[in-house]
Amino acid sequence: MVDLFPIARAGLFAVNPERAHHLTLTALKLGLAGRDLRGDDPALATQVMGLSFGNPLGLAAGFDKDAQVPLAMLRLGLGHVEVGTVTPLPQPGNPRPRIFRLAQDEAVINRFGFNNSGLPVAKARLSGLPRAGGIIGANIGANKDAPDPLSDYEVGLQVLYPHADYFTANISSPNTPGLRDLQARENLEQLLTRLGRVREGFVAGGSSYKPLVLKIAPDLETKALEDIAEVVLASGIDGIIVSNTTIARPDTLHGSHIAEMGGLSGVPLFEPSTEVLRQMRRLTKGKIALIGAGGVHDGVTAYAKIRAGASLVQFYTAMIYHGPALIRHIKDELTELLKADGFATVADAVGADVD
C-alpha cells in the first residue's frame, strides 16, 4: 500500500479538525485510502470472546460514529472496527468548535457529546454490509436528555443486536453530563442486568450469542475499579475496554488548546490508561477479555498494552497524525516483538507483565 498520507496531511491540517474528519470519511467512502494487500502473520490471529480476529488491532469508537466506513477501515488491515457511539435518537452533540489538535503532543481534546444520526441510520447501514473480512462492533450510548439512560442502552442493544458482532456500552465519555455516574456500582449492576436480559431474549429466540463489552474511564480511583471488576465478573459481561479519554491534563502538554474542556486522547493518555489496564487485569484475574485503548501509536505501545493484559488493542488518535499506513507498521513491529520474546501467538503474550 503506497503511503500518500504525508501529502494529504498538509491539506487536512490546514482546515479545522472536524472538517478534516469529514474529508477523511469522504475519501474512505470513495475508496481513496487504498487497502492492505499483505496477509497478516499467523502469530497475530487470536480468539477473543468467542470471535476470531485476524489480528488484535481495532479502530476505537468515535471515528465512524454513523457506520459509514467500517468495511473501508477493515480493508486497511484492521482486525476489527467499532462504530458509534450510537444513541436511540439523533442528536447534534455539543456546540462547535469541539475538537482541538495538540500536534506537538500527538494528542486531541474533544467534547463532541455523542453527535450521531441515531439508531435507525446505523441499523440500515450495518444490516446491508456483507459479513466478511473482519469483526464489526457497535458502541451504544444514551441520549443527553434521556429520562431513563439505562433504557437507551437496552434499546440500542435491541435494535442493533442482529447487525453487529459485539456490543460496547459506553458509560465513560466525559462529554455527556452524568454519563460517568453509570460506572457507580448500583447503576452498573442495573445496566448490566438489563443488557444481559436483552441478550438472553435474543439467544432464547434462536439468535447467536454475541459478546457484551463495557467501556470505562481512565480517571477512576482504585475502589471504583474494584467495584467494576466485581460487578462485571458477576454479570456475565464478556469484556472491558480500558479506557476512554481522560479529563486530566498532564503538565507536559503544549499549545494554546490545553485548557479546552473535553476528553484528552493520544500519546499522553498511554501511561495512565495502561496502568488502569494493569490494575483491571489483576482485579479480573484474566477471567474476562480486556481491550487496551489509549495512546497506542506504534508496535511498542500496542505490545505494552498486550503484555499489560489486553487481548485486543484499539486506537484512533494516532491515525490523525500518521495515517492508515500506521496499521501495517504496528502489525509488522508487533510481530517482530512477539517473536523476539519467544511468543508463538499474540494470545501467549497477554498479561505477561502482570500475571
| pLDDT tens digits, 176-202 | 988 999 899 999 999 999 999 999 999
Catalytic residue among 173, 235, 243, 273: 173
Residue 51 pairs in a beta bridge with 48
Give the C-alpha separation, 234 to 229, whole Å.
9
Cell numbers linked to 207: 439468535
Q: Are 164 and 126 in contact (CB under 8 A)?
A: yes
Q: Is 207 a catalytic residue?
A: no
In sign, the C-alpha dihedral spanning 283, 285, 291, 296 is positive
* Exposure string for 48-80, b = 16+ CB within 10 A, e = fewer: bbebebbbbbbbbbbbbbbbbbbbbbbbbbbbb
CB atoms within 10 A of CB 181: 11
Give the C-alpha separation, 112 to 245, whole Å.
12
Cell numbers linked to 284: 479480573
- The whole-number pLDDT of residue 1 equals 55
Q: What is the DSSP letter of 246?
A: B
- The whole-number pLDDT of residue 315 equals 98
What domains can you pick out in the chain, each with its CATH number? 41-349 (3.20.20.70)
- The whole-number pLDDT of residue 2 equals 57
Q: Phi/psi at 242 (nearest 5 deg)?
A: -120, 100
- The whole-number pLDDT of residue 50 equals 97
pTM, two decimals, is 0.96
- The whole-number pLDDT of residue 177 equals 87
Give the C-alpha separation, 72 to 81, whole Å.
10
Residue type, position 79, single letter: G
Helix, strand, coil percent content, the chain, rounded in steps of 5 = 40, 15, 40
- The whole-number pLDDT of residue 211 equals 98
In Å, how far are 34, 220, 272 from 276, measured between CA atoms?
35, 8, 6
Q: Using one digit for the tens of pLDDT, what is the confidence trace for 263-290? A: 999 999 999 999 999 999 999 999 999 9
Among 254, 300, 248, CA closest to 276: 248
First CA to last CA distance, the chain: 38
- The whole-number pLDDT of residue 133 equals 77
- The whole-number pLDDT of residue 175 equals 84
In Å, how far are 36, 52, 82, 122, 247 from 328, measured between CA atoms?
8, 19, 18, 28, 31
pLDDT < 70 regions, the chain: 1-4
Taking each helix axis from N to C terminus, what angle separates 17-29 and 5-12, rounded to the nearest 10 degrees? Answer: 140
Cell numbers linked to 23: 474529508
Q: Are 153 and 195 in contact (CB under 8 A)?
A: yes
Q: Which alpha helices (H) appear in the chain, and where do they start and end?
A: 5-12, 17-29, 70-75, 119-127, 149-160, 185-204, 222-235, 270-284, 299-307, 317-322, 325-340, 346-349
240: left (phi > 0), else alpha (psi -120 to 50), else beta?
beta
